[in-house]
Amino acid sequence: MSAIRYVSTRGSAERASFRDVVLSGTAPDGGLWMPADIPRLPKARIADLAELPYPDLAALILSAFVGDAIPDERLFEICQEAYAGFDDPEVAPLVPLAGRHWLLELFHGPTLAFKDFALQVVGRIMAELIDAEEGGQPLVLVGATSGDTGSAAIAAIADRANIGLVMLHPEGRVSEVQRRQMTTVDAPNIVNLAVKGSFDDCQRIVKQLFASGVGDLRLGAVNSINWLRIAGQVPYYFAAAAKLNAVDRPLAFAVPTGNFGNAFAGHVARAMGLPVERLIVASNANAILPRTIATGLYERGEALATSAPAMDIQVASNFERLLFDADPAATPGQMELLSQEGRFHLTAPQRRVLDAMFAGASAHEGAIADAMRWARDRAGQVIDPHTAAGLHAALASDLPHDVPIVTLATAHPAKFPDAVAEALGERPAAPERLRAIFGREERYATVEADPKAVASHLEDIARTLA
Ligand SMILES: Cc1ncc(COP(=O)(O)O)c(C=O)c1O
Ligand SMILES: N[C@@H](CCOP(=O)(O)O)C(=O)O
């Protein structure tokens, strides 16, 4: 296995190794890291994946991004450990809905959302790389969450030696279950901050801190800024295709979208050779991406609060990776325009990629509730509001009828009991893992939407690790 090199989407940073990419935040020029080349798997190798249990499949796909940074045998062990805590033996079961519609259940991990797929691996690989350093500096992670990344990152990092995590969530804009999943974890290396602002404010602060640095702290990312987050979400696209015997015939995925990490992982799966006919980018009323796909204009607005709060996002971080993949030279200027003017136009090559491979659909609140009712009435499935936005888009798709559509079920319905009860008239049963969080004390501080307020918490946690 050889070394994999990574490039920045802004084009002016030196190439970096897998290790440097995983243990850092944004690239020094402010961009996001991408592999210099996305490796393509031969067809026969993809077909063989059907035989593999999920952890082996994941290790095989991940090894293409890890290269020689971790020996293959160790990577296999890490993946076994990462998925051992999932409560379904298939890890990502595929459930039939009706006709050509399927649900890929991605909520069987420790925090009941799809973020566990990558973060259970990220936490272990970070620890592996840090442990291998002699006398290395502690790693201080800073993340922004609209609800699910937070708990998944905390579950992956809590109590790890030499790693601390400060997690920002928008005050009052995550569900009670999501908040408690983060704030009831009692670990000395975890700090939760409720930010007076939106998720976009939280993410902006995180990116500003990476750009400015905080003293001489070694900062790292748990958001999908970190390439390993994207890589860790690629394997389940292959697993779904293998289950449908669709490794050499077209299929489509409807992907509930906020920060575009999950959808971009699907794009990477296709680039690696999976015959993905269409990625249907499904949003809630925050329809910036479906609108961009339709018009070619990316224009930031105010994030609206919806029943699918993890997708209440206007600046979809990973869209930058798609722009770069389609037209690298144009991307730095577009990102500059976005920060100065809040908008930019796609170039012709970028529009061609979007038109050929993506579709978009947004679901307002009524459509989300309708999709929840459709899933219950037609297939006996209770789904969460984010998955419902995906299903709404899948049902509206104009793809030929022989193309199966897999909707990614990104969260367990019990994470959003109020929204489910409002649509279906009854509250979803809470799995054992969730019941415990209700008796426990919550710990978090509230801060202004200001990088300085967050920096002081990063310094405090760094002192405890030193
Ligand atoms: C339940 C759920 N669905 C969908 C999304 C959107 O995913 P992404 O940000 O990768 O587009 C999120 C947040 O990331 C989420 O928590
Ligand atoms: N919806 C996300 C927002 C952060 O996205 P990420 O994939 O970049 O971590 C969340 O649940 O926090």
17 - beta bridge partners?
A: 5
Nearest protein CA to atom 9 of ligand 2, as residue: 223
Give the CA-trace dihedral at 89, 128, 262, 419, to 10 degrees: 60
d(CA 156, CA 226): 15
Nearest protein CA to atom 7 of ligand 2, as residue: 224
In CATH, what number is assigned to the domain containing residue 391?
A: 3.40.50.1100
Check whether residue 139 and residue 240 sit in a common domain.
no
Q: What is the whole-number distance in angstroms between the Cα of residue 259 and the centre of ligand 2? A: 6
Q: Of the ligands numbered here, which is closest to the C-alpha atom of 384?
A: 1
Tokens of 387: 């998955």
Q: 71, 94 in Cβ contact below 8 A?
A: no
Closest ligand 2 atom, residue 311 Cα? 1
Q: What is the whole-number distance in angstroms between the Cα of residue 410 and the centre of ligand 2? A: 11
Q: Which domain holds residue 221?
A: 115-227+431-466
Give the pLDDT score at 249: 85
Tell me how far the alpha carbon of residue 241 is from its chain's centroid: 20
Give the pLDDT score at 135: 79
Ligand 1, residues at Cβ distance < 6 Å:
113, 146-148, 256-263, 310-311, 386, 410-411
Return the sign of the alpha-carbon dihedral for residues 172, 168, 316, 405. negative
Confidence of residue 143 (pLDDT cuts 50, 70, 90): very high
Q: Of the ligands numbered here, which is closest to the C-alpha atom of 258?
A: 1
This prediction's pTM: 0.97
Give the pLDDT score at 353: 97
Give the pLDDT score at 384: 98
Check whether residue 267 and residue 406 sit in a common domain.
yes
d(CA 118, CA 243): 20
Q: Of the ligands numbered here, which is closest to the C-alpha atom of 263?
A: 1
91 - beta bridge partners?
A: none
Tokens of 116: 């566990």
Based on the structure, what is the number of domains in the chain? 2
Active-site pick, 43, 115, 243, 415: 115
Check whether residue 274 and residue 175 sit in a common domain.
no
Give the pLDDT score at 134: 78
Check whether residue 449 and residue 352 sit in a common domain.
no
In a domain, 306, yes or no: yes
- Beta strand extents in 309-350 (DSSP E only): 343-345
Closest ligand 2 atom, residue 203 Cα? 4
Check whether residue 214 and residue 313 sit in a common domain.
no
Cα–Cα distances in Å, from 252 out to 128, 238, 246, 255, 385? 35, 12, 10, 10, 20
Check whether residue 279 and residue 339 sit in a common domain.
yes
Cα–Cα distances in Å, from 444 out to 69, 153, 193, 341, 450? 36, 16, 5, 34, 16
Say if residue 455 is exposed, middle or buried (CB neighbours under 10 Å; 0-12, 13-18, 19+): buried
Best residue among 148, 226, 228, 317 to mutate for probing ligand 1, ranked by most atoms within 8 Å of CB: 148
In a domain, 39, yes or no: no
Q: What is the whole-number distance in angstroms between the Cα of residue 1 and the centre of ligand 2? A: 31
Closest ligand 1 atom, residue 146 Cα? 13
Q: What is the whole-number distance in angstroms between the Cα of residue 464 and the centre of ligand 1? A: 32
Confidence of residue 47 (pLDDT cuts 50, 70, 90): confident
Contacts of 277 (CB under 8 A, 6+ apart): 250, 251, 252, 399, 403
pLDDT in tens, 102-115: 999 999 999 999 99
Check whether residue 205 and residue 293 sit in a common domain.
no
115 is catalytic: yes
Closest ligand 1 atom, residue 387 Cα? 3
pLDDT in tens, 312-325: 999 999 999 999 99
Give the pLDDT score at 291: 96
Best residue among 149, 228, 387 to mutate for probing ligand 2, ranked by most atoms within 8 Å of CB: 149
d(CA 234, CA 263): 10
Ligand 2, residues at Cβ distance < 6 Å:
145-150, 223-224, 258-259, 261, 310, 317
pLDDT at 2 over 90: no
In a domain, 456, yes or no: yes
Check whether residue 318 and residue 203 sit in a common domain.
no
Give the pLDDT score at 97: 98
pLDDT in tens, 285-314: 999 999 999 999 999 999 999 999 999 999
d(CA 62, CA 72): 10
pLDDT in tens, 189-216: 999 999 999 999 999 999 999 999 999 9
Confidence of residue 12 (pLDDT cuts 50, 70, 90): very high
Give the pLDDT score at 45: 86
Check whether residue 149 and residue 216 sit in a common domain.
yes
pLDDT in tens, 211-251: 999 999 999 999 999 999 999 999 999 999 999 987 778 99
Best residue among 169, 264, 284, 410 to mutate for probing ligand 1, ranked by most atoms within 8 Å of CB: 410
Q: 180, 194 in Cβ contact below 8 A?
A: no
Q: What is the whole-number distance in angstroms between the Cα of residue 117 and the centre of ligand 1? A: 12
d(CA 44, CA 23): 34
Check whether residue 329 and residue 381 sit in a common domain.
yes
Is the ipTM, as predicted for this complex, more than 0.90? yes
- Beta strand extents in 186-231 (DSSP E only): 190-196, 219-221
Query: For residue 184, how many other CB atoms are within 10 A of its CB?
Result: 19
Q: What is the whole-number distance in angstroms between the Cα of residue 233 and the centre of ligand 1? A: 12
pLDDT in tens, 414-452: 999 999 999 999 999 999 889 889 989 999 999 999 999
The percent of the chain in helix, strand and coil, each rounded to the nearest 5, is: 45, 15, 35
In a domain, 101, yes or no: yes
Confidence of residue 380 (pLDDT cuts 50, 70, 90): very high
Nearest protein CA to atom 13 of ligand 1, as residue: 310
Check whether residue 163 and residue 292 sit in a common domain.
no
pLDDT at 1 over 80: no
Confidence of residue 393 (pLDDT cuts 50, 70, 90): very high
Closest ligand 1 atom, residue 113 Cα? 1
Closest ligand 1 atom, residue 262 Cα? 10
Q: What is the whole-number distance in angstroms between the Cα of residue 349 and the centre of ligand 1? A: 27
Q: What is the whole-number distance in angstroms between the Cα of residue 225 and the centre of ligand 2? A: 10
What does the DSSP assignment read for 341-372?
A: HSEEEPPHHHHHHHHHHEEEEE--HHHHHHHH
Nearest protein CA to atom 4 of ligand 2, as residue: 145
In a domain, 386, yes or no: yes
Check whether residue 312 and residue 198 sit in a common domain.
no
